[in-house]
Amino acid sequence: MCVLTGKTALVTGASRGIGRGIAERLGRDGARVAVHYGRNEAAAKETVAAIGAAGGSAFAIGVELGKPGDAELLWEKFDRQADGLDILVNNAGIGTAPPIGEITEEEYERVFAVNVKAPFFLVRQGLSRLRDGGRVINISSGLARTAAMPDKVAYAMTKGALDVFTRDLSKVLGARGITVNSVAPGIVDTDNTAGFLHGTPDGWAQAATISALGRVGAPADMADVVAFLVSDGGRWVTGSWVDATGGSLT
């Protein structure tokens, strides 16, 4: 179904994991996808190739987020290949942080720079490019609503800040028909969780029991939620925190 034909999407952190799953799904739905990556150009090119092989259109943009001028540079590269934006998915982020007793000030500032500051200024700098009726999706986390992993407090704090951004931005952009939502994954099988899921004897089984559905999430599970929210079917959902944890919070 090419429900997004004629639309242009930007997915940050789309070279692997959840971001790649989202990029590929939006490509299958007809959108032209800007595949952002931080350092792994080869992986981003694989995502672009996969979208192309499925009949879609995509291009890669390499910018390391969390550094001064990152938003300006990303949009400068975007503008070379597209003339406007319909869908922005803020997915790129540092997936964890050391416990409060171990985290350094530098590490704290880095996780906030990538997970909070970068999405904020990508939106700030992208407002003139985002068309009326567009969509903004911020990838949050179930940890923003539960203290299941208190050792990841700094990371959880960044996702809480992102959720406030979602709520308030929905009011700012609502007059233009632009919806803004947070999607909150639980444990998903990606590079970030591979150490726990595949590197420990009972990791996968333990993770599966956390979900009410009795399994570990996949990037496609998150991509399908995002696909709904950016489609016309999601037009009346905005300012929401969408629990995509597979019932892990119940």
78, 155, 165, 241: the catalytic one is: 155
> Considering only CA atoms, which of 28, 23, 6 is closest in space to residue 85?
6
CA distance 160 to 241: 10
For residue 175, the tally of other CB atoms under 10 A from its CB is 8
Which spans in the chain are helix H? Answer: 17-28, 41-53, 70-79, 105-112, 118-126, 153-173, 194-199, 203-210, 219-230
| DSSP label at residue 68 | T
CB atoms inside a 10 Å sphere around CB 245 = 25
DSSP 166-195: HHHHHHHHGGGT-EEEEEEE-SB-SGGGHH
Distance of CA 229 to the CA centre of its chain: 13
Contact 172, 211 (CB under 8 A): no
Would the CA dihedral through 232, 236, 238, 241 be positive or negative?
Answer: negative
108 tagged catalytic: no
Place of tokens 């803020």: 90
So which residues are the catalytic ones? 155
